[in-house]
């Protein structure tokens, strides 16, 4: 009898866990999210003029908004008005887990989130997503930040095959983007095309991130125009839609 009760409880537990599993989100032909970090407004506008032929859209994840020039603020508005997303990337661009552990979560929100959102509000920008600086996140920071944002972007490493990579949207409000910057050891056209092909064939949405788009890469935290062009061209040629982080948030049930 005791055995039957234990087995019944186990079956119930398994059923509960499988019912609460987040359903994968699929879209016809798959999709692409491109996120670009920090505050490279001049380069972002340059790359927009190169990629608009593919009807691309991106999420620009803005850090240090309080110290940008008037011209940068104008460029930000221009990007927003033509349909790109402005995403939060920290008022000070701190390591969230470390900062919250050192000074407390309340102080982290007070220093890193509130002034940033006040700035965006004053500029009438509707900011619904946050991209973690350095990809630094924990369940604790996720839980806190989901009070302020609809979706949070962390980072994924590039050691996995497409099937095992975390850089596909699975319906969760925490997403993991794969780096496109040239200095990453996984950065090569063949790997990116492999992952894109998987997204296309499996109707999945792949999420990328990079920093400063530039014609010729000269250092770390730079993504070449060529890489971005190759990704957008693949998406365009294969009828894959572009999405922003907040578009993903709208798909979460
Ligand atoms: Zn950053």
CATH number at residue 236: 3.20.20.370
Pull the structure tokens for residue 244.
């922003």
CA of 116 to the centre of ligand 1 (A): 14
Query: Does residue 13 belong to any structural domain of this protein?
Result: no
Query: Does residue 148 belong to any structural domain of this protein?
Result: yes
Query: Does residue 14 belong to any structural domain of this protein?
Result: no
pLDDT for position 153: 98
Query: Does residue 84 belong to any structural domain of this protein?
Result: yes
CA separation for the pair 192, 195 (Å, rounded): 5
pLDDT for position 157: 84
CA of 38 to the centre of ligand 1 (A): 5
Query: Does residue 136 belong to any structural domain of this protein?
Result: yes
CA of 197 to the centre of ligand 1 (A): 28
pLDDT, tens digit (0-9, with 9 covering 90-100), for 132-149: 999 999 999 999 999 999
Residue indicated by tokens 């910057």? 181
CA of 23 to the centre of ligand 1 (A): 30
Beta-bridge partners for 206: 32, 168
Query: Does residue 80 belong to any structural domain of this protein?
Result: yes
Cα separations in angstroms, 143 against 21, 89, 212, 240: 18, 17, 30, 32
CA of 19 to the centre of ligand 1 (A): 36
pLDDT for position 158: 80
Count of domains forming the chain = 1
Query: Does residue 229 belong to any structural domain of this protein?
Result: yes
pLDDT for position 22: 54
CB-based burial label for 193 (10 Å; 0-12, 13-18, 19+): middle
pLDDT for position 195: 96
pLDDT for position 6: 54
CA separation for the pair 202, 186 (Å, rounded): 22
CA separation for the pair 105, 99 (Å, rounded): 8
Q: Within 10 A of 215 (CB to CB), how many other CB atoms are there?
A: 13
Query: Does residue 18 belong to any structural domain of this protein?
Result: no
CA of 5 to the centre of ligand 1 (A): 52
CA of 124 to the centre of ligand 1 (A): 23
Q: Which domain holds residue 79?
A: 23-251
CA of 146 to the centre of ligand 1 (A): 19
* pTM for the model: 0.90
Q: Are strands 31-38 and 205-210 parallel, antiparallel or unpaired?
A: parallel
pLDDT for position 3: 61
CA of 233 to the centre of ligand 1 (A): 26
CA separation for the pair 198, 45 (Å, rounded): 30
* Residues of the chain falling short of pLDDT 70: 1-23
């Amino acid at each position: 009898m005791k055995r039957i009760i234990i087995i019944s409880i186990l079956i119930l537990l398994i059923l509960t866990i499988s019912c609460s599993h987040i359903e994968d989100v699929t879209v016809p032909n798959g999709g692409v999210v491109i996120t670009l970090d920090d505050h490279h407004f001049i380069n972002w506008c340059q790359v927009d003029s190169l990629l608009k032929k593919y009807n691309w859209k991106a999420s620009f994840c803005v850090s240090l908004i309080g110290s940008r020039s008037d011209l940068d603020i104008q460029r930000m508005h221009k990007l927003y008005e033509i349909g790109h997303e402005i995403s939060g990337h920290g008022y000070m661009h701190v390591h969230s887990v470390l900062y919250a552990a050192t000074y407390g979560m309340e102080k982290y929100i007070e220093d890193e989130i509130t002034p940033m959102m006040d700035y965006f509000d004053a500029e009438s920008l509707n900011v619904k997503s946050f991209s973690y600086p350095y990809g630094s996140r924990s369940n604790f920071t996720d839980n806190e930040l989901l009070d302020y944002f609809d979706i949070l972007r962390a980072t994924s490493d590039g050691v996995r095959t497409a099937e095992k990579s975390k850089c596909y949207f699975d319906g969760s409000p925490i997403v993991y983007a794969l780096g496109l910057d040239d200095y990453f050891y996984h950065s090569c056209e063949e790997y990116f095309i492999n992952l894109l092909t998987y997204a296309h064939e499996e109707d999945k949405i792949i999420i990328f991130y990079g920093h400063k788009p530039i014609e010729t890469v000269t250092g770390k935290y730079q993504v070449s125009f060529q890489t971005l062009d190759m990704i957008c061209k693949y998406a365009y040629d294969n009828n894959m839609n572009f999405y922003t982080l907040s578009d993903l948030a709208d798909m979460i049930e």
